[in-house]
């Protein structure tokens, strides 16, 4: 991986535009890589994962024995609280969008739903991913960072 410390190419001021939930989820669905944040031993833990949107939920694949699988297996009620973040910044201008979803994650235990989830998300690492997790978005926030007359900074 190459690290580029050069300044962004931008001659105009930047503007931050808040996105509504529907637009934020649409953008999240346009990429396949994000980061899930959950607690492990009472500390925040972040994992990069690939995802798909399905019927308003974020679906990710995981494997037996992973920290996230173990954490969601023990969940009572609606599940465990997680955050999910995805973005698409331009590496040169640093303009783009970012979306954060907070909601409840539950391990998929229904065999038909698990089979369906396996068709949606294809693991990008060489490891058996035999489990799936659904995240039900409760709070969806997003912002677009743009240049020029894209809107007033909020």
- The 10s digit of each residue's pLDDT in 89-129 is 999 988 999 999 999 999 999 999 999 999 999 888 888 88
Residue 154 — pLDDT band, cuts 50, 70, 90?
very low
Q: What is the pLDDT of residues 6-16, one digit of tens each?
A: 665 556 788 99
Q: Where are the alpha helices (DSSP H) in the chain?
A: 21-28, 67-73, 111-120
> Torsions phi, psi of 23, nearest 5?
-65, -40
**In a domain? residue 1:** no
**In a domain? residue 60:** yes
**In a domain? residue 6:** no
CATH number of 51's domain? 2.30.110.10
**In a domain? residue 152:** no
Give residue 32's domain range.
Answer: 16-147
Residue 153 — pLDDT band, cuts 50, 70, 90?
very low
Specify the number of domains making up the chain. Answer: 1
């Amino acid at each position: 991986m190459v690290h580029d410390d050069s300044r962004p190419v931008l001659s105009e001021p930047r503007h931050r535009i808040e996105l509504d939930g529907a637009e934020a989820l649409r953008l999240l669905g346009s990429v396949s890589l994000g980061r899930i944040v959950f607690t492990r031993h009472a500390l925040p833990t972040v994992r990069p994962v690939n995802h798909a949107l399905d019927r308003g939920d974020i679906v990710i694949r995981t494997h037996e024995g992973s920290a996230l699988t173990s954490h969601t297996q023990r969940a009572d009620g609606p599940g465990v609280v997680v955050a999910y973040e995805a973005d698409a910044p331009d590496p040169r201008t640093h303009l783009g969008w970012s979306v954060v979803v907070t909601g409840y994650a539950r391990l998929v235990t229904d065999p038909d739903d698990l089979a369906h989830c396996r068709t949606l998300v294809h693991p990008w690492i060489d490891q058996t991913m035999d489990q799936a997790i659904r995240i039900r978005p409760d709070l969806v926030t997003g912002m677009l960072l743009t240049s020029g007359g894209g809107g007033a900074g909020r």
